[in-house]
Structure 1
Amino acid sequence: MSSTYQPLQPATLVRNAQGLPCSPRYDDVYHPAPGDGIAQSRRVFLAGNGLPGRWAGRETFTVCETGFGLGLNFLALWQAWRDDPARPRRLHMLSVEAHPFSRDDLVTLLRECVPDDLQSCAQALLAQWPPLLPGLHRLEFEGGNVTLTLGLGLAESVVPQWDARADAYFLDGFAPAGNPQMWTPALLRALSDLSAPDATLATWCSVGAVRRALDEVGFAVTRREGEAGKRHVTVGVRKPEAGAGARAQAVFAGAHEAVIVGGGPAGAGVAQSLALRGWRVTVVDEAAAAAGMTHAGHLAAACTPLIARDDNLRARLSRAGSRRALARWQDLPETGAPRVCGTVQLARDAGRAADLAGTLAVLAFPSSWVRAVSQEEAGALAGVPVRRGGIFFAEGMLVRPQGLVAGLLATPGVRRLAARVARVTRSGPQWRVIDETGQVLAEAPVLVLANAAAAPALLRTVTGNEAAWPSLAGMHRLAGEVAHVPADALAGGPRCVVGGEGYLLPGVDGLCVAGSTYVHGAERAERSAEGRDTAIGKALGLVDLPLAGDPGAGGWAGWRAVLPGRLPAIGEVPGAAGLWLATGYASRGFCWSALAGDLVGARLMGEPIPLERDLQAALGPR
């Protein structure tokens, strides 16, 4: 097991003798007096950072916070943004919490602590409160104009993984005497490294060692008189000679226009993300010219995360991807929205079932998100008998690829062009895509190559140096097919996704999708009797059902673009400003689609990135 994995230790609702919520772990209260939490947030953190006045006239404003607690600082900040006619168009908060409350406890606490005029914001926060899983969770409000990127885990692990540009800091950890890890010079340095040149800070803590540490990392600090139980507070401003922090995010300064090559899950995910942020997007899609729609005829697919005992890169990425997909897609029209039916992932054998149970014990994830299930429990969840037990992911999703991709591309601001791109060139600040006749199809300051296995060839037309990208040079196409089986032939089909060595999906339009095959070295992606038998055989190895009647001959065949290591390549191409990749999604395209879109969109808009730095590095062009 990785020595770096730290299971979350959620907070429990405990009250002190005065009835205030408190932390026995740190011997401190979450707020000082009944009904005073929001008022303290305004006095200490907003006023201490010169807010709301400091954000006037800005396009975006980002706050980094240590110690989310009950979320009172976030709610006070959000209300100030709502009430200010001179507010920035977009407001972002990054916050870290090592011991988050469950949603049920937070419901109780916010009902008590939040005044009536802020209850609508509190209810919106509760509606999006994530399962208590380690990592970054992106919550969006006000049509995406207010975001909260919540890092669950120890601050010393979470903060160095943040990727942002901070305009203000709310330092709100428990007192240094009880929680010294929240005030170490190393943590304050990691925060300082995100600073904009004019960043400010505020904290109720006035301990001399903390003030000296803040001075050493580039802030001129002042101790002021406090109130309401706080003798002093500390405020600070970035020293002019300190400048921007070493890891402060750069901001794209060009026009908000993009061209995307490829209209499948990769391109459509980026297109939606940019369009939701106000960009004008042109999607150039060869498949639209040839067959009308990428994934035409692909009836259904699954989107399910992975787990690993060491919570490795692949597991963390799949968790982040499936959660972003759910958040991004749940409000699409019915034909494109995912069906959150859950996934029963069956163990290969009894030994593997024990391994899975052991993995869950180590990870300590909430059972509401994933839990071990016996063969009988798995069958009850699926609604059909299954051959083994395993684990159940409550947020497992069934997606309808054609409707989903169409829904993403229908986002206002997206234009679709049916054409084949032969090469890419640059003209000044603009990237141009050109067809086989030499005609310029579209141009923009941002170009995203999201055309699966064809992306490396287009990249070579720009760089001419395949050796610089060994993984991309090793990308290959892998054909595969699925079978469409009448649900009546499978006792109506399962109620949830059933996975293992293959998969069987709930019925869509009276048909269940059974899959899938992997055909190396194929010249064409096509259906075959042999492939159909293989797909159905895999499904029948999961469910304990006879195949009743004629299974028919329906199905779908397509390509997977696979990179060595089976992780996609998502990010800006080094040395080619404005040129991005979103390719190599392999068999998990629907798990990567929304996450990749938000990685590109957040980076271009100067938002906090909703993914840790080490995970971004694992996905970068390579």
Structure 2
Amino acid sequence: MPDFILPPLQTAKIDWRDDTPFAPEYGDSYFMPGRGMAESTAVFIEASDLPRRFVELPDDGLFVIGETGFGTGLNALLAAECFDRHAPSSAHLHIYSAECHPLTREDLARAASHWPRLAEPARALLAGWPPPAPGLHRIRLAERVELTLMFGDAATLWQAGPDRIDAWFLDGFAPSRNPELWSEELFATLGARSRPGATVATFTAAGVVKRGLASAGFEVERREGFGGKRHRLVARMPGESAAQRTRRGRAIVVGAGFAGCTAARALAERGWSATVVDPRLSGEIPSSLAAVLYTTASHHLNAQNRFYLGALLRAREWLRRMGFPRDESDGRLDGVIQHLVDPRVAEKTRKALASGAWPQELLHPAGDERVRIEGAGSLRPGAWCRFLLDHPRISTVAAHVRSIGGGQEARAELGSGDHVEGDAVVLCTAGATRGFEGLDWLPLRVVRGQVSFCRATAASLAWREAHCHAGYVTPAFEGVHCIGATFDRQREEAVVDPADDQLNLSELQRHVPSLWRALGGEYIEIVGQHAGLRAQSPDTLPMVGPLPEPRENPHTLDRRVWLDIAHGSKGMTHTPLCADLIADRLAGHPVATDLEVMVSLAPERFVERRRRREPDWRPDSVDDHH
């Protein structure tokens, strides 16, 4: 399907009638009053034969449920409980559920409070409940159960959603009350996304549903309804298919920056062993170095901007779930103040605020010409990377990788003459990726940047948020602020230039003079610097996915080699989502991005552009200069 634009969301308006949530807009309740759990168990869990199907999964089995209306989450919580009770201990459940009008956290908590039996997965749901931002959001309900919420129109998102669905829950308000949901387009998509033998369960027996399922290829059966209702439907896609399975293996991750460390951690959590190879593992990242977790808002939620928004929310969820920062020595997630000093950024941000594309829980005004991004902040890269690598399935090798190759096994030749073998190689090597044989065609621009370390003052020690303008300044860590960063396209070496300190300070003075004065003004004390290299792609999006093979420059590498590069200056923000994308695909799991976002990140997009002889570089994106 072509790329699409997701509109802003409106949260659900709930009228509580005793213990039952009622939607006045649709004139319908979310479940049968007083019998919600019994109804969902009979209509969705038992009608889908889930207890038996979960018992029969192989040890490494994978089961995928699709749903058209998340509502209060009751069906998902019951499915998680059923899976925990019946499935093998190493099997895995994915639930994908669309919702156009998410409940507020308060209404969700009120609904869940009536189901004490489901308290454990409900706590996980509430802890990870995202702001009402359009797109896909993943929450881990249990060690073996993951929920991916698809906020937006069900028909649109399921067209760009996962396939290989084993069981469908067709929930939502009745077809007579919400005809827009029960469309021919949606039924066709359900058929296209189903595996042979996939089942459908729903509370309704409306003719439009029966006809829609039949036209999509399902065999439809009418059964007795629940609780006095006359009828309901079940359906099945003809054919049989073997159970889906999780793939496990050994990954060689080249590079130990944000991309490499998050990729290794995501793979380890998918059951893979990961060997991280990087000569810098034997060195130390400067203790004063701090990076800012944030992105630029936009009202235009196409694939590119859905990635930027989704990446920020996924990074926040990784940090919440992992309990990082552990304390203030690791970093602070007290928000980021963005000063709207660039006219293009200012216009995009104002439109995002006015349209509601970025919900107020995430983005709101913070004074004249500035906004606050909630849940963002600044982290110390060294602490975050060490934390990520602390996993029993991750090992490290402090060495230079001389060459890589595919074949029967993926292989990395080390500078010492030794080698590491595995089932896949993930290159997280930024601009250095072009140095591997056969990869000099990659359209990467390397940009040098330098940050300055400045002594804190009595006034600046009180700062809690990071501030972004044309550059940034972080709160103090151990009495030192990190101020940056320059954007130098002329040099591709990470050399320190003392003149860049004045550039960083002059940008701060120009755009946020109050902070410059609080740091000491002309008497700011510089206590160190750090220079590094960023890698950009022509469209400023990362390159994430299996390595393509351009026809005009064939080489020996195969699809055992994956790229996770070109994160520019937003590496800390981008890399958790990108790591999940790679780990899910290698492990055979459905991904937690929509199809168009995945395509927009795929490295082969540049192969196609080269075939069409499009220019390698377009005008720079203001989003990537900070």
Deviation at 1:350, TM superposition (A): 9.0
2:485 aligned with 1:516: yes
**Secondary structure, aligned partner of 2:196:** strand
Alignment partner of 1:530 out of 489, 499, 512? 499
**Secondary structure, aligned partner of 1:533:** helix
Whole-angstrom CA distance in 2 between matches of 1:614 and 1:503: 31
Structure 1: state its 5+ residue gaps. 376-388
2:384 aligned with 1:397: no
The residue that corresponds to 2:362 in the other structure is 369
The residue that corresponds to 2:390 in the other structure is 410
Deviation at 1:190, TM superposition (A): 1.4
Whole-angstrom CA distance in 2 between matches of 1:489 and 1:528: 28
Distance 1:550 1:342, change over 3 A: closer
2:422 aligned with 1:432: no
2:465 aligned with 1:475: no
Residues 480-495 of structure 1: pairs in structure 2 closer than 5 A: 480-488=449-457, 491-492=460-461, 494-495=463-464
The residue that corresponds to 1:334 in the other structure is 326
Cα contact 1:503–1:515 (8 A) shared by 2 = yes
Alignment partner of 2:307 out of 311, 314, 317? 317
Cα contact 1:8–1:133 (8 A) shared by 2 = yes
Whole-angstrom CA distance in 2 between matches of 1:343 and 1:574: 37
Please list the CA deviations of residues 258-280 of structure 1 after superposition, one character each: whole Å capped at 9, or x if unmatched: 11111111111100001112211
Cα contact 1:452–1:561 (8 A) shared by 2 = yes
Whole-angstrom CA distance in 1 between matches of 2:138 and 2:440: 36
Cα contact 1:481–1:558 (8 A) shared by 2 = yes
2:512 aligned with 1:542: yes
Deviation at 1:109, TM superposition (A): 2.3
The residue that corresponds to 2:132 in the other structure is 132
Cα contact 2:325–2:332 (8 A) shared by 1 = no
Distance 1:583 1:4, change over 3 A: closer
Distance 1:351 1:264, change over 3 A: closer
Cα contact 1:326–1:338 (8 A) shared by 2 = no
**Secondary structure, aligned partner of 2:101:** coil
- Give the letter aligned to residue 310 of structure 1: H
Please list the CA deviations of residues 384-410 of structure 1 after superposition, one character each: whole Å capped at 9, or x if unmatched: xxxxx3111011121101111111112
Percent identity among equivalent residues? 31
The residue that corresponds to 2:95 in the other structure is 93
**Secondary structure, aligned partner of 1:181:** coil
The residue that corresponds to 1:39 in the other structure is 38
Structure 2: state its 5+ residue gaps. 550-557, 607-626
Deviation at 1:566, TM superposition (A): 1.4
**Secondary structure, aligned partner of 1:49:** coil
Alignment partner of 2:399 out of 419, 425, 428? 419
Farther-moved stretch of structure 1 (45-54 vs 182-191): 182-191
Distance 1:280 1:597, change over 3 A: same
Residues 137-216 of structure 1: pairs in structure 2 closer than 5 A: 137-143=137-143, 145-216=144-215
The residue that corresponds to 1:299 in the other structure is 289
The residue that corresponds to 2:74 in the other structure is 72
Distance 1:215 1:444, change over 3 A: same
Please list the CA deviations of residues 26-70 of structure 1 after superposition, one character each: whole Å capped at 9, or x if unmatched: 222101121x11111110111111111112233221100110001
Alignment partner of 1:283 out of 253, 276, 290? 276
Whole-angstrom CA distance in 2 between matches of 1:89 and 1:349: 50
Whole-angstrom CA distance in 2 between matches of 1:607 and 1:349: 41
Deviation at 1:297, TM superposition (A): 4.7
2:472 aligned with 1:503: yes
Whole-angstrom CA distance in 1 between matches of 2:477 and 2:294: 18
Distance 1:359 1:141, change over 3 A: closer
Whole-angstrom CA distance in 1 between matches of 2:471 and 2:325: 29
The residue that corresponds to 1:617 in the other structure is 599
Cα contact 1:503–1:542 (8 A) shared by 2 = no
2:593 aligned with 1:603: no
Please list the CA deviations of residues 137-176 of structure 1 after superposition, one character each: whole Å capped at 9, or x if unmatched: 1001323x11100011111221112124211111112111
Distance 1:594 1:353, change over 3 A: closer
Cα contact 2:64–2:95 (8 A) shared by 1 = yes
Cα contact 1:140–1:146 (8 A) shared by 2 = yes
Distance 1:511 1:296, change over 3 A: closer
Q: TM-score, normalised by structure 2?
A: 0.88
Distance 1:440 1:222, change over 3 A: farther
Whole-angstrom CA distance in 2 between matches of 1:303 and 1:200: 42
The residue that corresponds to 2:537 in the other structure is 563
The residue that corresponds to 1:119 in the other structure is 119
The residue that corresponds to 2:616 in the other structure is none
The residue that corresponds to 1:586 in the other structure is 568
- Give the letter aligned to residue 405 of structure 1: C
Cα contact 2:535–2:567 (8 A) shared by 1 = yes
Provide the aligned C-alpha RMSD in A: 2.5
The residue that corresponds to 2:435 in the other structure is 457
Cα contact 2:448–2:489 (8 A) shared by 1 = yes
- Give the letter aligned to residue 514 of structure 1: I
Whole-angstrom CA distance in 1 between matches of 2:271 and 2:582: 14
Distance 1:588 1:29, change over 3 A: same
Please list the CA deviations of residues 480-524 of structure 1 after superposition, one character each: whole Å capped at 9, or x if unmatched: 100111111763263201111111111111011111101112142
Whole-angstrom CA distance in 2 between matches of 1:424 and 1:311: 37
Please list the CA deviations of residues 549-604 of structure 1 after superposition, one character each: whole Å capped at 9, or x if unmatched: 45133121111111111111001124623221101111111011111110011112
2:82 aligned with 1:103: no
The residue that corresponds to 1:381 in the other structure is none
Cα contact 1:305–1:315 (8 A) shared by 2 = no
Deviation at 1:465, TM superposition (A): 7.4
Please list the CA deviations of residues 515-552 of structure 1 after superposition, one character each: whole Å capped at 9, or x if unmatched: 11011121421222210111122223324142424513
Please list the CA deviations of residues 360-398 of structure 1 after superposition, one character each: whole Å capped at 9, or x if unmatched: 1113533221111214xxxxxxxxxxxxx3111011121
2:553 aligned with 1:554: no
**Secondary structure, aligned partner of 2:195:** strand
Whole-angstrom CA distance in 1 between matches of 2:536 and 2:343: 31
Distance 1:319 1:168, change over 3 A: same
The residue that corresponds to 1:383 in the other structure is none
- Give the letter aligned to residue 268 of structure 1: C
Whole-angstrom CA distance in 1 between matches of 2:152 and 2:588: 24
The residue that corresponds to 2:8 in the other structure is 7
Deviation at 1:88, TM superposition (A): 5.9
Please list the CA deviations of residues 394-432 of structure 1 after superposition, one character each: whole Å capped at 9, or x if unmatched: 11121101111111112221111111112122242x111
Whole-angstrom CA distance in 1 between matches of 2:343 and 2:214: 58
**Secondary structure, aligned partner of 2:297:** coil
Q: TM-score, normalised by structure 1?
A: 0.88
Whole-angstrom CA distance in 2 between matches of 1:432 and 1:357: 49
Please list the CA deviations of residues 4-31 of structure 1 after superposition, one character each: whole Å capped at 9, or x if unmatched: 3411011111146x87322222222101
**Secondary structure, aligned partner of 1:488:** coil
**Secondary structure, aligned partner of 1:205:** coil
Distance 1:212 1:486, change over 3 A: same
- Give the letter aligned to residue 563 of structure 1: S
Distance 1:3 1:120, change over 3 A: closer
Cα contact 1:298–1:402 (8 A) shared by 2 = no
